[in-house]
Each structure stands twice: as structure tokens, then as C-alpha cells.
Amino acid sequence: MRILKQELYFPLIISIHFVMWAIDLAMYEGAYVEVRADTFFGEYANYEGIHPLRIVGEVFSSWVVTVFAFNFLMATRARWVERVFGGLDKMYLIHRRSGVIAVVLLLAHFITVPRDLTAFTIGKPLGFYAFLLIIVGVILAAAPPLKAKIRYNSWLKVHRFMGPLYVMGVVHALMVNNLIKELPLTRMYVFGMAALGIGSWAYRTFLYGRLHPELPYTLVSAKRLDDRTVELRMKAQGESLASRRGSLRSSGSRNSTGASSTRSPS
């Protein structure tokens, strides 16, 4: 199976978006009119057609939805996802860098996208607050100087808020006027990605712990092998990971349906 490296991952996402947007815009025959809108570059009114900033801003938003959706998918630690990226270590490296890139794209969306001034919807403040909190969350999760000063359990609690903030962002997209709703191919892809992201987050938050119960271990020793590698020796307090995997393999082999064993967390 070909491994999806980060050298291919990001260009692939960009290429897919450009193709979809190009096809939809080329085939678009609607009359998109903005009565009054405001941007960081000035206000405009009664603009017939699609304003260039509208396209640029919403392309950025569709990238944000996609990058976060795949990050939530990676967080499920599904075996097939690990195989796609060539292992858990490589997958989480892409996961971390994707989070930083998503913040840059989110900031670009906020700066470029026109804001409709004709009507107020709850989606507008919802999107703004989600924008601010996502930026803070990703900075805390990815910036080494800040991350080093925060205890892991505290950092993890902050990081888990990314799911609800993502949901807020998707609700924002559903409740405000935007071009994506007018483009069938792009609409199907973006909201499909949103469903994937929300589903992955819900699985990781509410189901993963029940399907993969933790096994308590005690740290016996820690030895630094070099500047980037630490060897940890641990002892199971009860059932070990090896015995859990062995029992699952045995039950799987005895299963007449041929179902494979589930994976234990490491």
C-alpha cells in the first residue's frame, strides 16, 4: 500500500479543492447578488455576480473544514488511517502541522471573506467566537514554548475543546449566506467533510474509551538514549497489553464469522 506522506498530503488537498471550485464556478449559471457586504478592504453594495473576495474567502474556509476533518479522523487512531500515513508517529506529525496550517487558513478566511450586512443571524457571532477560540486552542496545542509550560492533562482538556468549536464553525457555515451553498459539487464535498470531522470527533470522545478500555501500567524506569529518544520500561498493574491482544486474536480465530479482533490503545 502506498504511504501518503506529508509531501503529497497537502498538495493533494489543495488540488482537489481547485478542481472542484473550478468546475463549479465554470458551470455556475445563477444570479448571485450581494446587496451590501463589508470586508477588511472596504464595503460594497449591489454587487452583481460573484465578488473575487467571496471566492477567495470561501476557498480558504473549505480548506479549513477539510484539514480539521482529517485531523479528527487521524485522532481516532484507526488502523487503516495509520496505514495510509505510514504509522502513528508520521500521522501525528502531519496532524500537528495540519493544525497550524488550519489556523493560518482560518485567519486568511476571516480577513478576506465578505460579511453580509443585510441581515443578522446567530451564525455570525458563532463563527467569530469559534474563530478566536480555535486560534487560541491550536496555539496552545502546537506552540512548543507554551506547550512545554502546560501540564499534559491540562493541555489535553484544552485540545478536546476543538471538537465543539469545529461544530460551532460548521453551524456558522450553515446559518450565514455563502457561495458554497450555491455550488453543488463544492457543497457536497465541504459538508461531507464536515460530517466526517464531526463523526470522527464524536467517536473519539464518546465511543473510543468504551470500545478500547485503558490498561493501567506503572513506570519502572526511564532512560534517555539520545537527544530525541527516551526508553520507558513499564509494568502492567493487571492485564497486560500483550495478553489483551492475544485474547482478542484467540477470540477472533474462534469466531465463525471471521471477524478480526479490535485494537487496544497503546
Please check whether residues 201 and 222 belong to one and the same domain. no
CA separation for the pair 193, 196 (Å, rounded): 5
| 262 domain-assigned | no
| 129 domain-assigned | yes
**C-alpha grid cell for residue 230?**
527516551
Please check whether residues 114 and 227 belong to one and the same domain. no
Model pLDDT for residues 125-171, shown as the tens digit of each residue: 999 999 999 888 777 766 666 666 777 777 777 788 899 999 999 99
Confidence at residue 256, expressed as pLDDT on a 0 to 100 scale: 33
Q: How many CB atoms lie within 10 A of CB 11?
A: 10
Which residues does residue 236 pair with via DSSP β-bridges, in sequence order? Answer: 217
| 36 domain-assigned | yes
Please check whether residues 126 and 171 belong to one and the same domain. yes
Confidence at residue 254, expressed as pLDDT on a 0 to 100 scale: 40
Model pLDDT for residues 174-188, shown as the tens digit of each residue: 999 899 999 999 999
Confidence at residue 152, expressed as pLDDT on a 0 to 100 scale: 72
Please check whether residues 144 and 50 belong to one and the same domain. yes
Residue 222 domain boundaries: 217-254
Residues 6+ apart with CB under 8 A from 73: 81, 196, 197, 200
Confidence at residue 245, expressed as pLDDT on a 0 to 100 scale: 65
Considering the entire predicted model, what is its pTM?
0.82
Confidence at residue 155, expressed as pLDDT on a 0 to 100 scale: 75
Question: What stretches in the chain show pLDDT beneath 50?
Answer: 252-266
Confidence at residue 265, expressed as pLDDT on a 0 to 100 scale: 36
Confidence at residue 263, expressed as pLDDT on a 0 to 100 scale: 37
Total structural domains in the chain?
2
Confidence at residue 63, expressed as pLDDT on a 0 to 100 scale: 95
Confidence at residue 253, expressed as pLDDT on a 0 to 100 scale: 43
